[in-house]
Amino acid sequence: MNGARAAAIWACLAAAACAVLIASLALGSVALPPSRAFAALLHALPHALPHALPHALPHALFNARAAVPDIADDIVLTLRLPRALAGFASGALLALAGALLQVLLRNPLAEPYVLGVSGGAASFALAAMLVSLPWWGVDLAACAGAFASIVLVLGLARRDLWRGTQDASPRLLLTGVVIASGWGALITLMLSVAPENRLRGMIFWLTGDLDGAATPWPALLALVFALLLILPVAPQLNVLLRGDSAAQALGVPVARLRLRTYLVASLAAAAAVTTAGTLGFVGLVVPHLLRLAFGNDQRMLMPAAALAGGLAVMAADLAARTVIAPAQLPVGVVTALAGVPMFLWMLLRRPR
């Protein structure tokens, strides 16, 4: 694919993400006109920008904030904007992790949760809920569980990650599947013994929910960090798709590249799960959809996966908040309901 077409697709994805962001700020149990939501953003700009900059911008631009009542500021800036940004970051991280794992494992069915990261995060988070820790304790527990799972898989599969053999990917996949099954058993046990008054919150967390996302900044920083680490080696990932032997023959440091890819994908999945719980199908469906447009060129695919994944989760969260407003659906339910038919459509249209 040439650069002009890729840039056009990126621009379309970015424009769609901005449109969904404005809709997310405007719509909900209390509806606001889109202009009112945008004005609330402008109200916050003078506090976020350097002191002299607002005076250098057109005066009418910032006068829009005068028409915005305080309640609109609170709704947009305190509730909806952090949630929308957390959804974008979580979706972008999941799609990026899914694309990386499909390259690493050379398996089109690989997704961010296949190596047990979500299971570890969920096990620790549910344990924190059982002992009534506050929201920040649940987030810390989820982060600790995700890292515990990463270290466990890394310890058991370290030889395969460092060895340039053809059987390394299946071994890594099997290790992750076994560990994920173990976490799944622990989750089932905790749900079985959980008091009824805590069971609803635990199930919402398991199905994926942005209601408890207090701040989007850790996930956004993790997204920037992951992209900075993986984009420079995207050409090498293109070569790795041809197989370890071909990559080694062309001078690619296969062992280091494999370890780097695993760590970036796992840390991205850990940040996403800690922020939003387990959102299904984003890391599986989004990379496949983008391959229809970009092929397997990772230089083009990785940034597009981040944009499209963030767009998908923001749109799913918007639907979850508005379909049965003022009640809310778990975001993971919406991603699954949309992801299943979309993935089946891709399977049916794919040539044999």
Q: How confident is the model at residue 310 (pLDDT cuts 50, 70, 90)?
A: very high
Instruction: Cis check for the bond before 303: say yes or no (omega within 30 of 0).
Output: no
Q: Is the pLDDT of residue 68 over 80?
A: no
Q: Is the pLDDT of residue 59 over 60?
A: no
What is the distance between the alpha carbons of residues 103 and 174, in angstroms, rounded to a whole number? 16
**pLDDT at site 104:** 85
User: Taking the domains of the chain in order of start, what are their residue ranges?
Assistant: 3-31+69-349
117-135: average pLDDT = 88
DSSP 193-247: HS-HHHHHHHHHHHH--STT---SHHHHHHHHHHHHHHGGGHHHHHHHTT-HHHH
What is the distance between the alpha carbons of residues 23 and 74, in angstroms, rounded to a whole number? 16
What is the distance between the alpha carbons of residues 142 and 145, in angstroms, rounded to a whole number? 5
Residue 58 exposed, middle or buried by CB count within 10 Å (0-12, 13-18, 19+) = exposed
Tell me what percent of the residues of the chain surpass a pLDDT of 90.
Answer: 23
What is the distance between the alpha carbons of residues 33 and 36, in angstroms, rounded to a whole number? 5
Q: Distance of alpha carbon 323 from its chain centroid, rounded? A: 22
Q: What is the mean pLDDT of the chain?
A: 82
**pLDDT at site 62:** 44
Q: How confident is the model at residue 294 (pLDDT cuts 50, 70, 90)?
A: confident
> Is the pLDDT higher at 188 or at 110?
188
User: Token pair for residue 314?
Assistant: 């923001």
What is the tens place of the pLDDT at every residue in 236-290? 998 888 877 788 888 888 888 888 998 899 889 889 988 888 888 898 889 988 8
Q: What is the CATH number of domain 3-31+69-349?
A: 1.10.3470.10
What is the distance between the alpha carbons of residues 115 and 62, in angstroms, rounded to a whole number? 48
Q: How confident is the model at residue 66 (pLDDT cuts 50, 70, 90)?
A: very low
Q: How confident is the model at residue 76 (pLDDT cuts 50, 70, 90)?
A: confident
**pLDDT at site 340:** 86
**pLDDT at site 108:** 78
Beta-carbon-side half-sphere exposure of residue 311 (alpha carbons within 13 Å)? 18
What is the distance between the alpha carbons of residues 132 and 198, in angstroms, rounded to a whole number? 9
**pLDDT at site 243:** 78
Least confident range from 107-111, 140-144, 185-189: namely 107-111
**pLDDT at site 241:** 84
> Is the pLDDT higher at 158 or at 98?
98
Give 300's contacts (C-beta < 8 A, 6+ positions apart): 1, 6, 294
Q: How confident is the model at residue 225 (pLDDT cuts 50, 70, 90)?
A: very high
Please give the torsion angle defined by the CA atoms of residues 323, 340, 22 and 56, in that order, rounded to the nearest 10 degrees.
Answer: 160
Q: Is the pLDDT of residue 48 over 50?
A: no
**pLDDT at site 351:** 54
Asked whether 82 and 215 are in contact (CB, 8 A), the reply is yes
Q: Can you give the length of the chain in residues?
A: 352
Q: Is the pLDDT of residue 114 over 60?
A: yes
Q: Tell me the pTM.
A: 0.87
Rg (CA), the chain: 21
Q: Is the pLDDT of residue 153 over 90?
A: no
Give 73's contacts (C-beta < 8 A, 6+ positions apart): 40, 43, 44
**pLDDT at site 97:** 92
Q: How many helices and strands, by DSSP H and E, does the chain display?
A: 18, 0
